[in-house]
């Protein structure tokens, strides 16, 4: 009976050790595991006490000795368990603190990189604008102006054109810190108000074009890669090569001539019908004016994404992994869902988020062709009129736009392929 008691205590201690390893290794319900163990330990103690009472018989001294022996064994087991649980809780607190420090370091570094990017973008943009062979006073006054020299000097003094470039740059920094981003030379209003009015139209246009280019290019690339050298592959490949080489403004003019002028399916331009205020425009009218510019802007990215995805699909379909999957009897659908999509997702995400900067650059040309009132249109007008505050404001918005896109891509890398996240943690 003593051997059975010893075996039961050792089994209880073994279960406690397994629970401790499970808690420390995976961080699962520490308090629940401790409560379960203490409950089992209490049950073992009272079972031992009951058996001791039955075996004691007529000898009270034997009963007392057996009880003290069981109590001593149970107390030592409780002490060991408590020490293990304290160690587990300390390790868990240390892991939580380390994770919090890593997250804080990550966000601080990301914020500092964004600040450095904005400073560099503003300095480079300001230097390029000042190096342009355009007189800001003459651009403001117009080509055939009748202003006297005194009036031109007064215009230059009002807008600060007569000050050194460094002083003008810090004047713009002061307006930026003030919250208005300076006063636009063209619109005679704070830059922040103009950006807020036009950013909505541009983000809607660029977002639709970006999503369309990703979906169409990704799907076409998979079809071409699954059936290489077929008629569909040759046809799609030729179209993509032509679209990749075609300028955005040329594609826009061709589509405008065919679908707007000849067929009359879409309006000639603008974000909504002429003569209506933004409050009077319905979503149906906005979408009708948005379809053609979004398709034209998406065309410039479909070709590159399709061709790159096609090459990656062909590489994966010829790999040993897919050959082994075919030998196991997996169908083409199973190979696509289990092996292909996961392996081509990272290159596709890289291409798609790298295309953000191209979308922003292409929107400038698309908005000019379709007279779309967005940030791209504001860039052209501010550059021709030497509206430095507005031009710098658009440059900062575009820098933030591209930075956020790359940041989202980096986060998605770790979600899709955890090995990248673990590699970064080991590097740190």
Q: What pLDDT sits at residue 116?
A: 92
Task: Say how far apart CA 225 and CA 229 lie, in whole Å.
Answer: 9
Q: What pLDDT sits at residue 145?
A: 65
Mean pLDDT value across residues 103-130: 87
Please report, for the domain that includes residue 383, its CATH number. 1.10.3720.10
- The burial class, CB within 10 Å (0-12 / 13-18 / 19+), for 259 is middle
Mean pLDDT value across residues 45-66: 43
Mean pLDDT value across residues 5-22: 47
Mean pLDDT value across residues 161-173: 83
Do 277 and 349 belong to one domain?
yes
Do 195 and 90 belong to one domain?
no
Of 180, 212, 175, nearest in space to 196 by CA: 180
Which tens digit of pLDDT belongs to each residue from 224-275?
888 888 898 889 888 888 888 888 888 888 888 888 888 888 888 777 777 7
Do 244 and 314 belong to one domain?
yes
Domain extent, residue 33, equals: 2-112
Element (H, E) at 221: helix 191-226
Do 195 and 256 belong to one domain?
yes
Do 142 and 184 belong to one domain?
no
pTM: predicted TM-score of the whole model, two decimal places? 0.66
pLDDT band at 57 (very low <50, low <70, confident <90, very high): very low
* DSSP structure string for 226-240: HSTTSHHHHHHHHHH
Q: Is residue 260 part of a domain?
A: yes
Q: Is residue 127 part of a domain?
A: no
Q: Is residue 126 part of a domain?
A: no
Do 210 and 350 belong to one domain?
yes
Do 52 and 172 belong to one domain?
no
Do 208 and 322 belong to one domain?
yes
Distance from the first to the final alpha carbon of the chain: 56
Q: Is residue 36 part of a domain?
A: yes
Do 206 and 230 belong to one domain?
yes
Q: What pLDDT sits at residue 155?
A: 78
> How many distinct structural domains can be found in the chain?
3
Q: Is residue 16 part of a domain?
A: yes
Q: Take residue 199 and report the two structure tokens written for it.
A: 């950013």
Do 197 and 324 belong to one domain?
yes
End position of a domain, from candidates 121, 140, 160: 160
End position of a domain, from candidates 144, 160, 176: 160
Task: Say how far apart CA 260 and CA 268 lie, in whole Å.
Answer: 6
Q: What pLDDT sits at residue 54?
A: 42
Q: Is residue 50 part of a domain?
A: yes
E strand intervals along 111-152: none
Enumerate residues 6+ apart whose C-beta is below 8 A from 119.
Answer: none
Do 317 and 353 belong to one domain?
yes
Q: Is residue 32 part of a domain?
A: yes
Mean pLDDT value across residues 114-141: 83
Q: Is residue 122 part of a domain?
A: no
Do 104 and 26 belong to one domain?
yes
pLDDT band at 58 (very low <50, low <70, confident <90, very high): very low
């Amino acid at each position: 009976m003593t051997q059975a008691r010893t075996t039961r205590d050792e089994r209880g201690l073994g279960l406690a050790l397994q629970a401790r390893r499970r808690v420390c290794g995976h961080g699962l319900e520490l308090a629940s595991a401790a409560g379960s163990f203490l409950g089992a330990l209490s049950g073992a103690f009272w079972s031992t006490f009951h058996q001791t009472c039955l075996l004691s018989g007529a000898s009270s001294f034997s009963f007392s000795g057996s009880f003290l022996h069981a109590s001593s064994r149970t107390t030592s087991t409780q002490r060991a368990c408590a020490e293990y649980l304290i160690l587990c809780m300390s390790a868990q607190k240390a892991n939580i603190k380390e994770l919090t420090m890593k997250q804080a370091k990550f966000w601080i570094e990301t914020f500092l990189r964004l600040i450095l990017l904005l400073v560099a973008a503003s300095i480079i943009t300001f230097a390029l604008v000042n190096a342009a062979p355009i007189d800001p006073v003459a651009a403001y006054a117009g080509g055939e102006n009748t202003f006297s020299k005194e009036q031109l000097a007064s215009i230059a003094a009002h807008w600060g054109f007569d000050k050194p470039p460094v002083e003008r740059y810090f004047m713009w920094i002061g307006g930026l810190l003030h919250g208005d981003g300076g006063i636009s030379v063209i619109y005679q209003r704070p830059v922040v108000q103009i950006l807020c009015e036009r950013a909505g139209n541009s983000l809607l246009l660029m977002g639709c074009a970006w999503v369309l280019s990703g979906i169409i290019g990704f799907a076409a690339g998979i079809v071409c890669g699954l059936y290489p050298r077929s008629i569909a592959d040759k046809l799609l490949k030729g179209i993509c090569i032509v679209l990749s080489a075609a300028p955005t403004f040329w594609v826009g003019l061709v589509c405008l001539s065919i679908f707007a002028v000849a067929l009359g399916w879409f309006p000639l331009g603008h974000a909504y019908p002429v003569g209506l205020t933004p409050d009077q425009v319905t979503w149906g009218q906005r979408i009708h004016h948005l379809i053609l510019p979004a398709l034209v802007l998406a065309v410039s990215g479909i070709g590159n994404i399709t061709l790159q995805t096609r090459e990656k699909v062909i590489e994966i379909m010829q790999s040993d992994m897919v050959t082994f999957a075919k030998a196991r009897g997996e169908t083409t659908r199973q190979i696509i869902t289990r092996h292909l999509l996961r392996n081509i997702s990272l290159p596709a995400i890289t291409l798609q988020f790298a295309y953000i900067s191209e979308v922003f650059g292409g929107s400038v040309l698309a908005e000019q062709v379709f007279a779309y009132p967005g940030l791209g249109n504001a860039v052209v007008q501010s550059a021709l009129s030497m509206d430095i505050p507005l031009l710098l404001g658009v440059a900062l918005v575009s820098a933030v736009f591209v930075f956020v896109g790359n940041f989202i891509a980096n986060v998605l890398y770790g979600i899709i392929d955890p090995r990248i996240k673990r590699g970064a943690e080991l590097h740190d």
